[in-house]
Amino acid sequence: MSEINRQYLLKQRPVGRIKESDFERKDSPVPEPGEGEVLVRNLYLSLDPAMRGWMNEGKSYVPPVQLGEVMRGLTVGRVVRSRDDSFSEGDFVTGILGWQDYAAVPGKQLGRAVTEPSLTANLSLMGIAGRTAYFGLLDICDPKAGETVLVSGAAGSVGSIVGQIARIKGCRVIGIAGTDAKCAWLVDELGFDGAVNYKTEDLYKALRAKCPDGVDVFFDNVGGETLDTVLRLINLRARISICGAISTYNATEMPPGPQNIRSLLVNRARMEGFIIFDYADRFAEADAALADWHKDGRLKIAEDIVDGLDEAPRAINRLFDGTNTGKLIVRIADEAG
Amino acid sequence: MSEINRQYLLKQRPVGRIKESDFERKDSPVPEPGEGEVLVRNLYLSLDPAMRGWMNEGKSYVPPVQLGEVMRGLTVGRVVRSRDDSFSEGDFVTGILGWQDYAAVPGKQLGRAVTEPSLTANLSLMGIAGRTAYFGLLDICDPKAGETVLVSGAAGSVGSIVGQIARIKGCRVIGIAGTDAKCAWLVDELGFDGAVNYKTEDLYKALRAKCPDGVDVFFDNVGGETLDTVLRLINLRARISICGAISTYNATEMPPGPQNIRSLLVNRARMEGFIIFDYADRFAEADAALADWHKDGRLKIAEDIVDGLDEAPRAINRLFDGTNTGKLIVRIADEAG
């Protein structure tokens, strides 16, 4: 066991893009678990776009991280010591244990981690990303075979799974991503029917060409201009799932709203937001389906693993600058060590 | 029978506000009904915000009115001569018979008009307005007793009925209107729990005060800034019915979109457009419920009747300049005459 507990605290609230100096490293002693608590060695940390919102002062769907607090984050870890009868040393667990090496928390705040196909799958396919893709697509949009499903942020952790599930459901799937390499990966590796590079192509024209029958379902991770453009392309009774709006998270002024909102009326279309935590009582359903599809070879895991907790303050910007593909994960420690 | 058929044709497409000179009166002979056709004497003409959209060049959910065509409009009339066995002289009918004294159309394009409580009720309570209110509120928003329902354009033909239905369903109802007289009418005559004058009050503050528990259902006839402001006040799992966006219909440039769209995500809320014609196979259900509520005295008819077809080109702007209360109707001829 390492002697210290590296902790990354929120030092100041970011203005615009996150800076490394918005965090502060503090080396603390490894905590002692109290009665009913479990001491966990974090092994992997999930980096998520939602973290940008948690760093802001205003209340969102969860309270903000306070200044001086350990930065919030979902992790997978191994139990080092347990004072809760439900957990034993060596168990693999998941929880919101933060950007740190160790956490001592009540056992009821922990979940059991799967070890197959991998520990990191707890943060990707069978984690928040997979569940978000599953419910945000199937529950909010109810895609039918033959329909055209469009996904923004398609090469990201959620988008890459959304597109694959839509393919499994027999839909025609087009992705929007920010590099030619990502677009090629979506089509060649993940089986998307097409992809558009929004940075180099005229988005409206490119989408019109790639979606000649219009858009029945739009799964939106990006918001902003992308959403506004897609509103011009939706079909009658289209369903839009608002998963995120990553294009706006670093904005220092309130970004413009979608001018084509009237398209919802003309097309009798629906736009709906969701938060994955509302589906907690159905996570098992999603996990089982996702695991089955993965086992069948129909759903690939896409992960982007960065080494070392000390890299986290820099790596998080990969979510926003377009250099990340698949689920962004920080490896904090070796699974064995 | 008058010797001529006054017809108001669309002469030019309005830019911004409708001008009288956008229409042209043409005096034609009264048409002869062909085989299977019915000659109808129009008695009442419905004036509707949607007409502004029909006058534009672009396709909306219905094709635009062509230049030189009789302006489209829903009417109630009396059969003068019938060459369709389903109709007899003296029958009262409704149809999209246009801004004119007479129309000869195939019988299958006509519906039977009710005569109780009145012929004008075909254009208000039991017409498009009532049906729009019924399905747009109950089907799209599913309001529950005790919830707060907010209605914009509340003193208009649809809004005034929406609010009354929401009251019947046990909701707390707040209306947004543009004069103190309208606000007083909503509360004193129609039984709204409160009303806000968006022209004289700070809309956000006034709505916060009138909706201390937030907004569960928003029935929006107005769009624009009103929608954007209400997005800041919606509750978890709020439902927004997009019925219209009258604040934007005369815009000569594309108006800004709602900046607070992210509220849909944070609140897991839904925004949905609808077009009443999609509910055609359920109109009887709405008509029966509306008639019952009216008979019980729980639902009042609000009509604003203007005399004379020649007034129509001027009267239509009352929908947009805030001087109209309830359903705007033009009386074309005496019911007996």
Chain B residue with the nearest C-alpha to that of A222: B262
pLDDT at B60: 72
Task: Indicate if the pLDDT at residue B59 is higher than 90.
Answer: no
When the candidates are 3.20.20.30, 1.10.150.530, 3.90.209.20, 3.40.50.720, the CATH number that belongs to B128-277 is 3.40.50.720
- Tens of pLDDT along A107-150? 999 999 999 999 999 999 988 899 999 999 999 999 999 999 99
pLDDT at B143: 98
Q: What percent of chain A has pLDDT over 90?
A: 91
Q: Do A235 and A263 form a contact (C-beta atoms < 8 A)? A: no
Task: Indicate if the pLDDT at residue B321 is higher than 70.
Answer: yes
- Tens of pLDDT along B9-43? 999 999 999 999 999 999 999 999 999 999 999 99
Note whether A275 contacts B: Cβ–Cβ < 8 A: yes
- Tens of pLDDT along A306-323? 999 999 999 999 999 989
Q: Do A157 and A136 form a contact (C-beta atoms < 8 A)? A: no
Q: Do A312 and A330 form a contact (C-beta atoms < 8 A)? A: yes
**Contact at CB, A257 and B256, closer than 8 angstroms:** yes
Task: Indicate if the pLDDT at residue A2 is higher than 70.
Answer: no
Note whether B274 contacts A: Cβ–Cβ < 8 A: yes
pLDDT at B240: 98
**Contact at CB, B242 and A258, closer than 8 angstroms:** no
User: How far B218 CA sits from the closest chain A CA (Å)?
Assistant: 14
Q: Do A181 and A189 form a contact (C-beta atoms < 8 A)? A: no
Structure tokens at A231: 């509103």
**Contact at CB, B257 and A259, closer than 8 angstroms:** yes
**Contact at CB, A262 and B243, closer than 8 angstroms:** no
**Contact at CB, A272 and B275, closer than 8 angstroms:** no
Instruction: List chain A residues with CB under 8 Å of B261.
Output: 223, 227, 242, 245, 257-258, 261
Structure tokens at A318: 């990969």
pLDDT at A104: 98
| Option in A61, A256, A271 nearest B266 (CB) | A61
The Cα A208–Cα A214 span in angstroms is: 7
CA–CA distances in Å: residue A122 to residues A46, A134, B74, B157, B227? 9, 15, 60, 54, 40
The Cα A56–Cα A304 span in angstroms is: 26
pLDDT at A1: 52
CATH number of A4-124+301-331: 3.90.180.10
Helix (H) or strand (E) holding A329: strand A327-331
Note whether B254 contacts A: Cβ–Cβ < 8 A: yes
How large is the average pLDDT for residues B264-282? Answer: 94
Note whether B269 contacts A: Cβ–Cβ < 8 A: yes
**What does residue A83 show for φ and ψ, rounded to 5 degrees?**
-115, 25
**Contact at CB, A265 and B245, closer than 8 angstroms:** yes
Q: What is the DSSP letter of B257?
A: B
Most B CBs within 10 Å, among A230, A249, A265, to test the B interface: A265
Burial B68-81 (b: 16+ CB within 10 A, else e): eebbbbbbbbbbbb
| Option in A243, A259, A267 nearest B273 (CB) | A267
Helix (H) or strand (E) holding B294: helix B283-295
The Cα B42–Cα B29 span in angstroms is: 15
Residue B293: which region, alpha, beta or left (left: phi > 0; alpha: psi -120 to 50)? alpha
Q: What are the residue ranges spanned by the domains of chain B?
A: 4-124+302-331, 128-277
| Option in A256, A257, A264 nearest B242 (CB) | A264
| Option in A256, A265, A274 nearest B268 (CB) | A274
Position A337 confidence tier, pLDDT thresholds 50, 70, 90: low
SS3 B8: strand
Instruction: List chain A residues with CB under 8 Å of B241.
Output: none
Position A29 confidence tier, pLDDT thresholds 50, 70, 90: very high
- CA-based nearest residue to B138, from B318, B276, B281: B276
Q: Does the structural domain A128-278 have CATH classification 3.40.50.300? A: no
- Tens of pLDDT along A166-175? 999 999 999 9
Q: Do B71 and B52 form a contact (C-beta atoms < 8 A)? A: no
The Cα A271–Cα A219 span in angstroms is: 10
Find the range with the poorest average confidence among A78-82, A320-324, B222-226, B306-310. A320-324
A-B Cβ pairs (cutoff 8 Å, strict): 96
Q: Do B102 and B5 form a contact (C-beta atoms < 8 A)? A: yes
The alpha-helical segments, DSSP class H, found in chain A are: 50-54, 128-134, 140-141, 157-168, 180-188, 203-210, 224-231, 263-266, 283-295, 312-315, 318-321
Note whether B64 contacts A: Cβ–Cβ < 8 A: no
Position A254 confidence tier, pLDDT thresholds 50, 70, 90: confident
Note whether A64 contacts B: Cβ–Cβ < 8 A: no
Q: Do B44 and B120 form a contact (C-beta atoms < 8 A)? A: yes
Q: Does the structural domain B4-124+302-331 have CATH classification 3.90.400.10? A: no
**Contact at CB, A270 and B266, closer than 8 angstroms:** no
What number is the ipTM of this complex?
Answer: 0.85
